[in-house]
Amino acid sequence: MDIITATLALIAALINCQQAINEAPQPQEEPQQTEEQVYDCELYCDEQPEAVQQVGYIDASEGYVEEAGYYDVPVFSGGLTAQSGVNYYDGRTETYYSSNVLYHYRTGEWTVDDEGFYRTDEGYYVVAASDMEQGTVFQGSKGECIVLDSGCAAGVTDYYVNWL
């Protein structure tokens, strides 16, 4: 691959990450909790499913968060999908980069799983994450990921996929 193609791929990855940042919901002012609300949570939180305790007030059957942190975003229980476009997991924003839209120069080194995600020979999900060292292995919503690229904003995990 020549330097021009590699440069174009990098520019496209940066544009993709910038678009994800621009489209991300903006935090709202933190609401003040009353003593009654804190007391209610102490009474009822233990009875809620574990996912509700960790994320916020969710009705997953409807597929939307009424109030998760201070964002109003859709929730998709299967993690990142082509339909959801963005997923929030463990404090990170998960997006995707399709090598079918703009070919990544290392795509030939990876295999595609049944869901269309690129994986290494060791089974790691291939991701870009600018706030982590190359080769870092960490847990994402899909499973164990390995950082093999950068070009995203801090806090973003960009999964490599073969979706259109």
Predicted pLDDT of residue 20: 72
- Residue 71 pLDDT more than 80? no
Q: Residue 126 in contact with residue 119, Cβ under 8 Å?
A: yes
Q: What angle is formed at CA 110 by the lines to CA 108 and CA 116, rounded to 5 degrees?
A: 110
pLDDT digits (tens, 9 = 90+) for 29-61: 555 544 444 334 334 444 433 443 334 433 344
Altogether, the residues listed in the chain come to a count of 164
Would you say 70 and 81 are in contact if contact means Cβ atoms under 8 Å apart? no
CB 111 within 8 A of CB 121: yes
Q: What is the pTM of this model?
A: 0.55
Q: Where are the domains of the chain?
A: 3-21+79-161, 35-67
What whole-number percentage of the chain has pLDDT above 70?
A: 62
Question: Which pLDDT tens digit goes with each residue over 99-144?
Answer: 888 888 899 999 999 999 999 999 999 999 999 999 999 999 999 9
